[in-house]
Amino acid sequence: MFLSLLLESPPLAVAWVAAIFLALTVHEFSHALVAKWRGDRTAEREGRLTLNPIAHIDLMGLIPLLLFGFGWAKPVPYNPYNLKNPKWDSVLVGIAGPVSNLLLAVIAAIIMRLLIVNGILTSLNLLIVFLFLLIIINLFLMIFNLIPIPPLDGSKLLFAFFDAPKYENVRRFIAHRGPQILLILVFLAILTNLNIFFFVSKPAFAVCDLLLADRCDLFFYLLFGG
């Protein structure tokens, strides 16, 4: 899909990649910022407390981004034992990323609606296209990262609730096998073009409709034809 998009509409492809880079950068920066706020400076020492996207690039995540239009950034390191409250501050560090994506989507939606309502730009102006992609991508990232499978952010909340010794084997299994299961699902979704993550796309589009006054599907159709 992304390669054909690049050939058919290079500006749209560039806007797509730019929106992903911005969303991922803000996401990872937010993890680092909250970790520092709660007492751990590991991410700051490793140069991750920055909005420079280069600091957050993961080569393994960059390749599928350029090939398929979907990728991931380098996880932000933190030491939970440096946090003021290791159990719940780990949750705060985890959800900081998804919360930042929601805020970025809301800001983009406000700007987009102001530009269109006031007649400053048309619906298919490149800036409007970029803002729409920024909304969709941030909402997808937010909901996707709340899935309680490591290394996604939702797993921090799962482990906080199931921290009793009797759940040790379950936590160990999820921590060990979770990334493998997630990677298989992601690449299966990319390579087969199947909507495996429908439980992500449906709420993402629902929130998008709330932000854009039920015009999310219309903008998506105008850009991608369906």
- Which candidate, 46, 23, 48, 22, places its Cα nearest to that of 33? 48
Residue 71 phi, psi (nearest 5): -155, -165
Q: Is the pLDDT of residue 26 over 60?
A: yes
Q: What is the pLDDT of residue 195?
A: 66
Residue appearing with tokens 């979770």: 178
- Which candidate, 88, 148, 123, 124, places its Cα nearest to that of 213? 123
Percent of the chain with pLDDT over 90: 50
Average pLDDT over residues 152-176: 83
Residues 56 and 21: their CA atoms lie apart, in Å, by 9
Catalogue the active-site residues. Answer: 28
pLDDT bin (cut points 50, 70, 90) of residue 23 is very high
Other C-beta atoms within 10 Å of 57: how many?
17
152/107: higher pLDDT: 107
Residues 5 and 197: their CA atoms lie apart, in Å, by 21
222 φψ region: left (φ > 0), alpha (ψ -120 to 50), beta (else): alpha
Q: What is the pLDDT of residue 169?
A: 84
pTM above 0.85, yes or no: yes
Task: Please work out, in degrees rounded to the nearest 5, the angle formed at the alpha carbon of residue 68 by the alpha carbons of 101 and 193.
Answer: 95
Residues 107 and 112: their CA atoms lie apart, in Å, by 9
pLDDT bin (cut points 50, 70, 90) of residue 192 is confident
Q: What is the pLDDT of residue 68?
A: 64
Q: Is the pLDDT of residue 153 over 60?
A: yes
Residues 111 and 27: their CA atoms lie apart, in Å, by 20
Residues 40 and 212: their CA atoms lie apart, in Å, by 38
pLDDT bin (cut points 50, 70, 90) of residue 43 is very high
